[in-house]
Amino acid sequence: MHVTHLSLADFRSYPRVEVSLDPGVTAFVGPNGQGKTNLIEAVGYLATLGSHRVSSDAPLVRMGADRAIVRAQVRQGDRQQLVELELNPGRANRARINRSSQVRPRDVLGIVRTVLFAPEDLALVKGDPGERRRFLDELITARSPRMAGVRSDYDRVLKQRNTLLKSAALARRHGGRTLDLSTLDVWDQHLARVGAELLAQRLDLVASLQPLADKAYEQLAPGGGPVTLEYRPSAPGEAHTREDLYEQLIAALAESRKQEIERGVTLVGPHRDDLLLKLGQMPAKGYASHGESWSYALALRLASYDLLRAEGNEPVLVLDDVFAELDARRRERLAELVAPGEQVLVTAAVDDDVPHVLAGARFAVSEGMVERA
Ligand SMILES: Nc1ncnc2c1ncn2[C@@H]1O[C@H](COP(=O)(O)OP(=O)(O)OP(=O)(O)O)[C@@H](O)[C@H]1O
Ligand SMILES: [Mg+2]
C-alpha cells in the first residue's frame, strides 16, 4: 500500500499542511526543527495509533489547539481509502473511514501499515523490556489488526486484577477484610485466557522473525552475527499452543499468588516478558558496541518489513534521520535494501545525507512549509 495524500490540522508544529505523495522514494529535507519528523510521525500514528517519540497524545496537538486531525488517502492495489483520526487528549479519540460515520480508532488499523526506522530504535536493543514488548505487539497488530482488541483486553484485565491485588495487599497490612480468593481465581482465568492468545502470537512472530533478522544483520554487517532472538516468558515453560500457554500461565499465577498478594501487583504474564537479543553468544544489551546495536535495531526493522511483505501486506517504509547515523558502507547497504519498497519516506537535514540509490521526489521542509523541490 502507499499514501497518496496526507493532511494535518493542528498536528505538532503544523496549523495546516497538505502533502501529495507518489509511490517510490520521497525525501523530506530541511534544517533541524522544521517539522520533518512531525510529518512522518503522523503517518506512523495512523499505522499504530501511537507516536514513536512520545507515549501520550498531548504533545502531538499543536500548542494552544485543543485537538489535532491526521487524514490520509491510501491506495492499496485498485482500492482507495480515506482514513481520518481526531486526537483529543484527555478525551476519546475519534476516527472515520471514507468520511462515513464514526468508527472506533482501532478499526482504522491495517489500512496504513508502516515500518519505521528512527534513532529511537536504539532503545530496542539497549532499552528496557517494555521497548521490545512494544516492538513485538505493534508488529503483531500490523500482521493481524484484530490483535489490537486482544491487547486492549489484556491491558484492561491486568489493570483490574492489579486493583484487586492492591486492595488485598492494603487490607492485609491494615488487618482489614481479606481477599475473596474465588474472585481472584476468576481474574486469573481471564488474564491467562487473553494472555495466552497474546503469547501465542508473540511466539509465532519471534519464530518467523528469527531467520529474517539474522539474514538482515548479515546483509548490513557481513560476518558480524549470528543474530538469535529468544523469547523470555515470565511464566516458565515450553508451551506453544494457546491451550498449553493457558495452563502454563495458570500454573505460574498459582505459584506466585502469595507473593502477588504481598506486593499487590501481577508478577506473571506477557506484560512481564522480554525478548532476549543475542549477537554471537552474548546478549546485545550490555555487550554489543554502539554500531553493532544500531545494526541490530536496523536488522529488526528490515526483518519486520520482509515479514509483512512476504505476508502480502507491503508497508510504507519510513526512515527518519537514519542515514546520518550510519557509516558509508552500512548507509549504502540499507539504502539498497529499502530502495525497491512500494513507498519509502525519508527525512534528512541535508541532501547529501540521502543516498544516491534513493533518488526520488524531494520536498523542502522549512518554517512549516512543505514544498516540492
Ligand atoms: N505540540 C506542538 N506544538 C507546536 N510545535 C511543536 C509541537 N511539538 C513539536 N513542535 C515543534 O516542532 C519542531 C520539531 O519538529 P520536528 O521534530 O519535525 O523537526 P525536524 O525537522 O525533524 O528536525 P531534526 O532535523 O532536528 O530532526 C520543534 O521546533 C518543536 O518546537
Ligand atoms: Mg527529525
* 350 Cα: distance to centroid of ligand 2 (angstroms): 12
Residues 70 and 192 in one domain: no
What is the domain extent for residue 144? 121-313
Residues 33 and 152 in one domain: no
The CATH number of the domain where 66 resides is what? 3.40.50.300
Residues 324 and 309 in one domain: no
Residues 303 and 323 in one domain: no
Indicate the number of domains in the chain.
Answer: 2
Are 170 and 176 in contact by the 8 Å Cβ rule? The answer is yes
Report whether residue 52 contacts ligand 1, using a CB cutoff of 6 Å: no
Residues 227 and 127 in one domain: yes
Report whether residue 222 contacts ligand 1, using a CB cutoff of 6 Å: no
The CATH number of the domain where 289 resides is what? 1.20.1050.90
Residues 128 and 54 in one domain: no
Residue 90 sits at φ, ψ, to 5 deg, of 85, -15
Residues 73 and 1 in one domain: yes
Residues 204 and 322 in one domain: no
Residues 80 and 185 in one domain: no
279 strand-pairing partners:
227, 282
Residue after which a domain boundary falls, among 267, 289, 313: 313
Residue after which a domain boundary falls, among 313, 336, 358: 313
For residue 174, what pLDDT is reported?
79
* 279 Cα: distance to centroid of ligand 1 (angstroms): 35
pLDDT by position in tens, the chain (length 373): 999 999 999 999 999 999 999 999 999 999 999 999 999 999 999 999 999 999 999 999 999 999 999 999 999 999 999 999 999 999 999 999 998 888 999 999 999 999 999 999 999 999 999 999 999 999 999 999 999 999 999 999 999 999 999 888 887 777 766 667 788 899 999 999 999 999 999 999 999 999 999 999 999 999 998 999 999 999 999 999 999 999 999 999 999 999 998 899 999 999 999 999 999 999 999 999 999 999 999 999 999 999 999 998 899 999 999 998 888 888 999 999 999 999 999 999 999 999 999 989 999 999 989 999 8
As a whole number of angstroms, the distance between CA 105 and CA 301 comes to: 25
Residue after which a domain boundary falls, among 313, 337, 356: 313
Residues 171 and 207 in one domain: yes
Residue closest to 138 by CA, chosen among 323, 272, 307, 294:
307
| 261 HSE (CA, 13 A, CB side) | 16
345 strand-pairing partners:
26, 318
As a whole number of angstroms, the distance between CA 327 and CA 177 comes to: 63
Q: Which atom of ligand 1 is nearest to the CA of 63?
A: 3
Report whether residue 34 contacts ligand 1, using a CB cutoff of 6 Å: yes
Residues 264 and 318 in one domain: no
Residues 275 and 144 in one domain: yes
Q: In 339-358, which positions are buried (b, 16+ CB within 10 angstroms) versus exposed (e)?
A: bebebbbbbbbeeebbbebb
Residue closest to 148 by CA, chosen among 187, 92, 198, 89:
198
